[in-house]
Amino acid sequence: MSLEAKIGPSILNADLSQLAVESQKLLDNGADYLHLDVMDGHFVPNLTFGHPIVKCLRNKIKEAFFETHMMVAKPEQWITDMADAGVDQYTFHIEPVDDVIGVCRKIRESGMKVGLAIKPKTPVEVVEKYVEMADLVLIMTVEPGFGGQKFMDDMMPKVKHLRDHYPSLNIEVDGGVALNTIDCCAKAGANWIVSGTGVIKADDQRSVMMQLKSSVTNAIAQYSK
């Protein structure tokens, strides 16, 4: 599998009352996918939106790739609903889950791709046990739960470890990723880039996403040699 650079804006920082309009604008400006942050008020203290909102968004936006980032205590609870809502990839945190393999199977049986996410304090070795079950691994570069946090560059060794050991794995980073932090993410080996504030609040979204993608594409060319 050849790696591709993909930019997925997090819509958490968008005007949620204009979600479809804002999401379509991001796609028109070059987004490769939409990263939808689902928080339950338990696994993380914040509360965002659930499958009814995702379904409404899918009714407006037919073609885009939707990734839900499930920051929830019981990810198994929402698999069927999110599949029904039109989600393409279901990325969940392994920390609160007893049967990670079982959840992965249910996600795949529902027709969605599997993403595995870990918080900053979770060692990369914990997720390594399940890499064979996953389409993507998400390394959080902030504590999950709120947008606008400072990027944690000490998470980059996790990314590099995964890239060194799993050359064809899709590796995503999320949290504080913007033009000033993209190069270290790209060089470490991340190829799926979530950017919230850095893209949503930009005066020129298209230019920012092009620069983010260019950095990752150049890095892939280097470490794929």
- Which residues are catalytic, by number? 37, 174
The residue among 224, 190, 110 whose CA lies nearest residue 92 is 110
157: three-class secondary structure by DSSP: helix
Q: Which two tokens stand for residue 204?
A: 């020129």
Residues with Cβ within 8 Å of residue 75, at least 6 apart in sequence:
90, 92, 93, 96, 97, 103
- Helical ranges in the chain per DSSP H: 19-28, 51-60, 79-84, 100-109, 124-128, 156-165, 182-188, 197-200, 205-223
CB atoms within 10 A of CB 6: 20
**Within 13 Å, how many C-alpha atoms sit on residue 191's CB side?**
24
